[in-house]
Structures are given as structure tokens and as C-alpha cells.
Chain A
């Protein structure tokens, strides 16, 4: 066959093929929308009438209509939610701690160190005109003390760790006008930009009984207050009157989280453990102003409130004290905080001047009278990166600097003149956010050299109601007599929680 004919024949064959290929290509390009029947049961809306938005009040009748039956009112305006969980903690480094009550006796903190049942209840009542009541209750019971023998532990340890029932937030809140809200009751107010450290966050005391493992919901202890919030465009202001005094819940003597103060006389090892509540003295006052703008924001804070840790005074002569007395100490705060966004980066800063702080003046081998007239500058810089696949990396560095404390040899060991704290958190979800991995490191010193804690945690959503969390907590030793002395407290933990 002549060459020209061969080409002609080839072209004649190829052209329709190319046209078909183009058609196929376009068909492929536009195809793929075919439904997979196994995925489409949920699309059947025939039996979904009335259940689409079970908790959405906007689609319901006004519960405050006068002719609404009581049962309807109850279901429309009262809502009860909460959670129930079972948790366990296993300390894989067997270690002993001085018994809280008896000299020469010790408590073993190896193996199972917690097996608790915990619950949380939240009641919301909607009132007319957008007012509402919230009341929370929480509690737990730890079976480990029964399992291992309650007599092995000091009385204060049993008091703090075995069981607890407490109120959470309990308040009435609502708008006084279009731009002004009033809140009355026990409330948590979380100031500042840091997720890891407290710089201007001075309103509520903390639950520190088990560092690194206190439920986030339980970490801050609410205080009774009158709170006013006003907003006008990009500006908002908050004013607090705080009549209630509550304090940090600290690990008691006999706990493996009690600081290493072994060279102090025994009587001095029993500072107050738990945050009592009282309404004595003048109420605390606090206020802030926020400005929020495109790409940045700032806040100014002022407060004259009680310290969340109680002031410790020595009883008896300062040269040979016989005990420790706890009192409230009021201090002043003037602070500022801000955020700045640049692309995927969030920068944050906080600075606070704190005046008339109490300083627990302890130096190894030497006891000094407590002081309550120290000023301190606290500052924080931080950055968060929001990366692909919802990866988040956050770094925060804090410095706390005592202004009027002698330097050099007189530097206090529990309250050094200048202290750096560093926090690094990396988290990323997997499997459609069903599984979340988090690595968290918090350390004292610029390079974690004074002690710290590292936690790796896995959070897995079993279904809409059940959640499983497990992780490991590793303590890094160091010269700090608090966090740095917990290096034997490493533990693994797990909790399964049902939420409703």
C-alpha cells in the first residue's frame, strides 16, 4: 500500500477514535456523581419530621406563652446535660512519699493511683427576654483508696482526693439593655490570650490537686460575682465586683504532688490545702476594656482582688517558727494583652504589673518571714501556627520578674527573682477529626532545665456520646522544688466518658 494511503487509512481510523476518546474524557471528567447506596440511608428524610433539630429553640414555640402546658414549658425552657466518666491512672514508677500524718511512715504511689467515677451536670433554664439561669454540679469518687487501704494515706490526702461534690458555675444572666449584660452568681472569668499560662488571668483560683490531669472543666473554681458586660461596635468592657474569696486547691502534705520542702520543720509542711470560701472583707474589684479589629485586638486590665494562693505567715518567732498561718492577701494588677494575625500565624502578648504580692520566702536551710509587699512584672509572648490538615502548633514563653527582691545569694528558691516558663503544644486531628493527637510540654526555665511536664494524649470519639481519652504524663526533674521534684510521678491515664 502506498505510504499516502496508509496515512489516510490511519487517519480515517484515528479520527473517530480521538473523538470518542475526547467524549470519554469529558464523560469521565463530569462523572462520578453516582450514589453509593450504602451511604445514602441517612438521606432518607421520610421519618425525620420533627427531629431534625432537636435542641433548637428557635424552631420551637415560645415557652413563655401563657397558655403553654407545664410539660411543654418544661421541655422547651429547661435543659439538663452532663457527662459521666470512668477514669484510671497508673503510676509506672513506684515511689514513696512521706505520710501526711505520721512521722517516719511513707505512702507508696506506684501502680494504680486513681480509679474514679466522675460526673458533671448542667442545668439551663431559659427565662423571658433572653435571661437564663445556669447551674452546674460536679463530683467524683476515687475507689483507689478503698482498694489500697485508706490507712495508707494521710487524712488530708483522703480529704482532697477520695471524693468531692461541688458546685460549678451557678448564675443568672441576661441583657439589661441592647448593649449591656448583667450576670449574678458564681462564675468563671478567663482573662488573657495564653492557653497555657496565667499572666492577667487572676480572677478565679485553680484546682491544682493533680497537675496536668485535672479536667479542663474543673480547672478553674468559680467565684461569686456581679458582672457587667457592655459592647459598642468593636469595643467591649467588663466590670466585676467579687465578694467571695476562694483559693487554689493545692496538693496536701502526703500527696506525691506536695512540693519537696523536706528540710523544713514538720509543722511548716502543712500549709492550707483547700480553698475555703468566705465573704469576709471588702469585695474584690476588676475591670477590662477590649478592642477587636481586623487582624488584631488588644485588652487593658485592672484588678484589685485576692491572690488565689493564700498568704502564708509563720507562727511563732521567725527564727524558729512553729507553724504556718494562712490569710488572704489582696494585690493589684494592671495589665494588657493583644493578638496579631498574619496569614496562618497568630502572635500573642500579655504583660502585667502585679503589686503587693505575697512571697513565700523559703530558702533551703533558712526560713525567712513571709512578705506581702513585692511587685512583679509578668510577661508572655506566644505564637500559634495553623497549618494544613488542621495542624496547630503553639509556643508560649513567660517571664515573671520580682522587682524589689534582692538578687544574688538571697534569691529565693521557691520564688526566684526571675523565672521563665515555656509551653509548647502540637495537635493534629486524624480520621475526620475522630482521633486527635496532642503533645504538650510545659517547662520551667528557658530550656525546661528547672523541671517540667510532657504529655502525649490521644482523644478518640467512639460515637456522638462516647469519648475515650488516654495518654502519658512524664515529669522532668529539675531544681524547682515544685514541678522539678515530681520526676517519679510519671503516669499513664485513660478515661471513657459518656456525654448527654
Chain B
């Protein structure tokens, strides 16, 4: 029962959800490095290698997102995602398949590498039969109610952080570098909502398999864990990962992200990343 004068409620919930499903954190993708900083050169070099790692192109995949609250109640979303690189920029389009009340809702994102440019995002609202452009500069909000934020889902520029190699360790039998990243300015903290991140980077493939994030609001921590990592067509891809929000030792919420049917090198053309395609549906 929604007003004719407003977006439907599910649509309102989705208005801010137009993000690339590239899952930058999981893929360990970061923007190209530019100037050098007075931080730990070895840590920065590692992060540059992370950034330079091949994350594939012309990708299609299916995504299942399970949201679990502290009472154990689960909500599940299914998405279909398409992604194509354009130089250093990334175009992506994704469609919600479930839940039924937001089915066919689609997002088109042009994720620019240049940190001075805001991403372009359009949202297709099937209830309104309308495509809306939406602003994307504030990335601290939750993505679709999950523990992932918009900042987690898009590239963050390396030059916005100072890095420090904390230690070398082992996670799941894999040697890792443990690198601390501190934002160099308040603007980045404001945009992401994060004051500090510790990255766990696998030494053998430069893939981030863990991250601990300090959230400014509410003094919470978020914990990213890659539970399953597969090499698909020569590209290391996270197929199962979790993001957990904790306050102290108490878990408040958890999101499980499963990626399946991942294919690289698909015949995706740039014209497919258009509003026309967005409105045509999955």
C-alpha cells in the first residue's frame, strides 16, 4: 500500500544500493597507486602488488547474500552480476532475483578509477518502471542491509592510506602479510566510516583473505573472511566469504556472500552496460 507520490517501500530500501558487485575487498582490488608516502615501503609495495593482481574481465556470476541477525534470523538475496573493465574503470550491472518484492530491480555502475570522479550509478525500479540516477559519494552505508558497506564494494585509492607491515603470520596454513592501513585524511574516514583496517594478504597469490576493520560509528569492528578461494580460469576468486560485525566480542550481525557460476572472458559488450539493458532485466 504505497503512495502514488513516492517510491514503493522496497524500492526506497534499494535506492542506495547501486554498487558494483565487484566486491573489491574480496578480490583485493585497489586503485592504481600514485604518489609515494612516508609509510612502510614494503607494505605499500605489497598493496601495490595486490592492486596489480589480475582480477579478470568480462565477468558474469551469481551471488547469494545471506543476512543473519543476532537472533539467528536469516534473510536471503540472490543477484545476477555482470562486470567489464574499461581501462582502469569498471562497468557493472546487476539484478536482484530474490526476494520477490524487489525482483528485477537493477543497478548499473560505472566505477571510475580516478578518485576525484564520483561513480555513476543508475537504479531501475520495476514497481515504478523507471530508471533513476543516484548519488554515490557517501559509501559508509550498509549495502542492502548486509555487513558490507558501499566502501567495501568499490575500489579505494591506495594513495588515501598509509600502510605499515605489522607482522608476517599464517592463516589457514597460508603465510600472510599483516598490513595496517590508516586513512591519511578525515575525508576518507567520513566517506568510508572506517578509521583503520588491517589486511591479511596471502603471500603466494597476493589475495586478501582476511581484514579487520575499525568502524568509527558505534566503535564496532567488522571482520572479513574469505572462506573459499578458487582459481577460475587462472583468476583467484573468492567464492565464499563472510563479513561479521562485532561490538567487543559480541557478534551483532553477519553476512555470508556466496559467488557461483563465475565466468571470465564472456562476450560482454559495452552497450550491454546501458540503461536499456538495465530496464530489459536479467
Contacts and interface: CB of A to CB of B under 8 A. Distances in A.
Interface of A: 26, 29-30, 32-33, 36, 38-39, 41-43, 45, 52-59, 81-83, 85, 87, 132, 169, 173, 178-179, 181, 188-190, 193, 195-196, 206-208, 211-217, 219-220, 229, 231-233, 236, 290, 292, 294-295, 297, 339, 341, 343-346, 384-390, 392, 423, 425, 427, 429, 432-434, 436, 438, 440, 442, 453, 455, 457, 459, 461, 463-465, 467, 469, 471, 493-495, 497, 499-500
B62 A53 contact: yes
Contacts of A461: 75
A51 B6 CA distance: 36
A290 B278 CA distance: 15
Given A345-B135, A464-B76, A42 B261 contact: no
Given A52-B64, A59-B260, A436 B1 contact: no
Nearest to A187: B129
A341 B64 contact: no
Contacts of B269: 178
Contacts of B258: 45, 52
Interface in B1-56: 1-13, 15-16
A429 B146 CA distance: 12
Interface of B: 1-13, 15-16, 60, 62, 64, 66-69, 72-76, 78, 80, 97-101, 103, 110, 112, 117-118, 120, 122, 127-130, 132-138, 140-142, 144-146, 166-167, 169, 178, 193, 198, 210, 212, 221, 223, 225, 227, 240, 242, 244, 246, 249, 251, 253-254, 256, 258, 260-261, 269-271, 274-277, 280-282
Given A53-B64, A440-B6, A346 B134 contact: yes
B62 A42 contact: no
A316 to B, nearest CB: 35
B100 A83 contact: yes
A434 B275 contact: no
Which 9 A-B pairs rank lowest in CB-CB distance, beginning with the nearest? A433-B145, A459-B9, A499-B100, A432-B145, A216-B8, A53-B62, A495-B1, A390-B141, A190-B130
Given A38-B72, A181-B280, A386 B16 contact: yes
Contacts of B76: 464
A294 B110 contact: yes
B4 A219 contact: yes
Contact of A195 (B6, B16, B223): B6
Given A232-B271, A343-B137, A346-B134, 19 more contacts: A30-B167, A42-B66, A52-B260, A55-B78, A58-B60, A215-B2, A215-B8, A216-B6, A216-B128, A231-B274, A236-B274, A295-B120, A423-B5, A432-B146, A434-B75, A455-B5, A457-B3, A464-B76, A469-B1
25 contacts: A29-B166, A32-B223, A33-B223, A39-B244, A42-B256, A43-B242, A58-B60, A58-B62, A83-B100, A132-B281, A181-B280, A188-B129, A215-B8, A216-B6, A216-B8, A219-B4, A231-B275, A386-B134, A388-B140, A432-B69, A440-B3, A455-B6, A463-B73, A469-B1, A469-B9
Nearest to B254: A39
A331 B146 CA distance: 48
